[in-house]
Each structure stands twice: as C-alpha cells, then as structure tokens.
C-alpha cells in the first residue's frame, strides 16, 4: 500500500515554508518558497508559489499527488473566512488548469497555525507583529478568538507597516517644519536616496516604495534615543497591549499563556524589549516561548483535520 502524506505550510508577505510529513506528523522534507499573501501579490502569483512547493515535495519523495491526503495552507490574508474560501477556490482553479486534484485542501490564517505551534493542543494566545499584526487565542474548550488583523487600511497597529508609515510621516513633518528634527530623515537620505519632500512623495506615490522597509530605520533611530522614534514606538506598543487586553477579556482567564511572534517581536530589538517590560506590569500575562515553529503548527492542524479531531462547528473564529 502506498504511503499517505500531509503537507503543512506557513506563508506570509515575504516567504512560505512547507513541510511534507507522514500521517503521524513526522517531517520527511522541508522547503521554502516565495510569498503567499494573495491579498498583496494576487491570486495567481500566490497559487504559483504554493504549487511550486507542493511539486518540490512530490519530486523529492518521488510520489504521486494522489498520495497527499491533505494540504493545509496557513497564510497571511486568510484571517477572514470569506478570504480563506476565496483563496481555496482560486488555488483549486489553478490546479484544475494543470489537471491536478488534491484530496483535501484547507486554507487557514498564518496566525492560527502559529497559535497551534506555540500551544499544541492546549490553551494560550499568540501576539504577532511583522509586516502586519494580529492576536489569536484559544480556550480550554478549543474555541478560537482573534482581535486585530484588519489589515493596513483599518488596522495593523504595532506592525512593521504602521511603524514604517509613521517613520515616513515624521520625516515629512520635519521637511515641512511641522515636527521636530529626527534621525529618520537623515537615514532615509543615506539608505534610500530620499533627499527632499519631492523625493519622498515620488517614492511613495509613483515608485511603489515598500513602506514597511522604513520600520528598521525607526528601530535604529530609537536605539539612538531619537525622540520622534521613541514616541512612535511607545504609541504602537500601547496598541499591542490593547490587543492583549482585548484577548484577556474574550478568554476570561486569570492567567493567559502568551507567545510573541513575527519579525518585530521574535528578535531582540528596542521594540520587543520595551514591550516585554510593559508586559511585566500585567500579572495576568505569562510570556511563553513557542513550543514549535509555525510551519509545524500547520502540520499539526492538518493532522487534526484528517483524524477529525477538530470540531468543524468550532472553526469559525470568534471576534467577541
């Protein structure tokens, strides 16, 4: 009898990690590919990147697509059910063009797979701040909750996008004389050749400047005690604390196991340090190191779906 396989993926705006495992969840091969946030790069590009990883697994293990019993894609952009279903359909249409059918395909948010990785089979919450931001939690009964995750137009507070945007606004205000002098303006000149208000406007509105790429400059300026940068950082830390307080109210527990994730929080920098200092003032929050990597969480969720350990009625994530 041919072996059966599970594929789990964790993707975002910059890359996607993939693991193919046996039905016990034992990883057999891991690979990395391009981004899979379809809301940012589009359905076709995201589908192409996802398929290339599945194909790589198939070729590496020398198996047929029929041997894959479930593919679970955890990706940024799939935080809302309608968006997840839209990508699921879009990817199936992409596969249909290649005459490939997968036995079972599930699209979940990257936050959900990261949560399962941090707390496999047990309650807790994960606060994620990378290019975007969201907090997701689950209680002892297996109910899922979320706060934030409204995207760059309505939310993403405390994220790299918002930090970058505020850094650029600080420079614009300095150019105009509406704000204080900031090191950020000098850094923009050195790193991005932005020498004037006209350059700034041109980069943002005509050259598709990556706004989140200004976030590292903000962190660097804050390390140098730049007042404008420190003010922005403190403002956005308060926003992340508001996410945590909202989750505490939703789960209603005296102690909430909390993991931090995302490119801004899982590294040692002034932003993550100052956030952790603030968290020490909240006795209900217990900081915990994630038990597994998010891509492993995707495999765990896929395994649970396959063995029907996940109650389908509990899959609609609660906002309140």
Q: Quick one: what percent of the chain has pLDDT higher than 90?
A: 36
Do 11 and 110 form a contact (C-beta atoms < 8 A)? yes
Q: What average pLDDT does the segment 38-46 reach? A: 85
Mean pLDDT, the chain, as a whole number?
87
Q: What is the pTM of this model?
A: 0.79
Do 292 and 124 form a contact (C-beta atoms < 8 A)? no
* The predicted structure's pLDDT at residue 17: 92
**Rg of the chain (C-alpha set):** 21
Rounded Cα–Cα distance for residues 10 and 153 (Å): 24
| 110 contacts: CB under 8 Å, gap ≥ 6 | 10, 11, 12, 74, 75, 76, 78, 128, 294
Examine the pLDDT at 240 and tell me if it is beyond 80.
yes
* The predicted structure's pLDDT at residue 313: 40
* The predicted structure's pLDDT at residue 241: 94
Of the candidates 127, 68, 66, the residue with the CA atom closest to the CA atom of residue 302? 68
**Same fold? 5-116+293-314, 123-289:** yes
Q: What average pLDDT does the segment 95-118 reach? A: 88
* The predicted structure's pLDDT at residue 235: 94
Examine the pLDDT at 319 and tell me if it is beyond 60.
no
Q: What average pLDDT does the segment 34-41 reach? A: 83
Of the candidates 58, 55, 80, 77, the residue with the CA atom closest to the CA atom of residue 67? 58
Exposure of 193 by Cβ count < 10 A (0-12 exposed, 13-18 middle, 19+ buried)?
Answer: exposed
Q: Quick one: what percent of the chain has pLDDT higher than 70?
A: 95
* The predicted structure's pLDDT at residue 315: 47
Examine the pLDDT at 318 and tell me if it is beyond 60.
no
Q: Where are the domains of the chain?
A: 5-116+293-314, 123-289
Fold of 123-289: Nucleotidyltransferase; domain 5 (3.30.420)
* The predicted structure's pLDDT at residue 312: 46
Query: For residues 196 and 232, which has the higher predicted lDDT (pLDDT)?
Result: 232
In a 3-state reduction of DSSP, which class is residue 120? coil
Q: What average pLDDT does the segment 97-114 reach? A: 87
Weakest mean pLDDT among 76-85, 153-162, 295-304: 76-85
* The predicted structure's pLDDT at residue 84: 85
In a 3-state reduction of DSSP, which class is residue 29? strand
Of the candidates 134, 82, 74, the residue with the CA atom closest to the CA atom of residue 109? 74
Weakest mean pLDDT among 64-68, 95-99, 137-141, 149-153: 149-153
Q: Yes or no: is domain 5-116+293-314 CATH 3.20.20.140?
A: no
């Amino acid at each position: 009898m041919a072996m059966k396989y599970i594929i789990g993926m964790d993707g975002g705006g910059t890359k996607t990690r993939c693991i193919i495992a046996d039905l016990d969840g034992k990883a057999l091969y891991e690979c990395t590919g391009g981004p899979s946030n379809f809301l940012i790069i589009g359905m076709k590009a995201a589908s192409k990147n996802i398929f290339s990883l599945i194909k790589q697994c198939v070729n590496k293990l020398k198996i047929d697509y029929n041997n894959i019993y479930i593919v679970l894609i955890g990706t940024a952009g799939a935080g809302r059910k309608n968006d997840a279903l839209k990508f699921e359909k879009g990817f199936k249409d992409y596969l249909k063009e290649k005459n490939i059918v997968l036995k079972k395909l599930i699209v979940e948010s990257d936050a959900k797979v990261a949560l399962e990785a941090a707390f496999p089979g047990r309650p807790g919450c994960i606060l994620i701040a990378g290019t975007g931001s969201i907090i997701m939690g689950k209680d002892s009964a297996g109910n899922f909750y979320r706060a934030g995750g409204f995207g760059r137009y309505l939310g993403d507070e405390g994220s790299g996008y918002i930090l970058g945007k505020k850094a650029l606004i600080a420079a614009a205000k300095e150019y105009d004389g509406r704000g204080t002098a900031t090191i950020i303006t000098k850094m923009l000149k050195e790193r991005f050749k932005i020498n004037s208000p006209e350059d700034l406007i041109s980069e943002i509105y005509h050259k598709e400047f990556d706004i989140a790429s200004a976030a590292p400059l903000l962190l660097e300026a804050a390390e140098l005690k730049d007042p404008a940068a420190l003010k922005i950082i403190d403002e956005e830390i308060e926003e992340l604390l508001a996410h945590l307080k909202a989750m505490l109210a939703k789960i209603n527990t005296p102690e909430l196991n909390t993991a931090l994730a995302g490119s801004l929080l899982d590294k040692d920098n002034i932003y993550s340090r100052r956030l952790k200092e603030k968290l020490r003032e909240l006795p209900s929050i217990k900081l915990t190191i994630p038990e597994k990597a998010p891509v492993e969480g995707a495999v765990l969720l896929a395994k649970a779906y396959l063995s029907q350990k996940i109650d389908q009625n509990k899959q609609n994530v609660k906002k309140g």
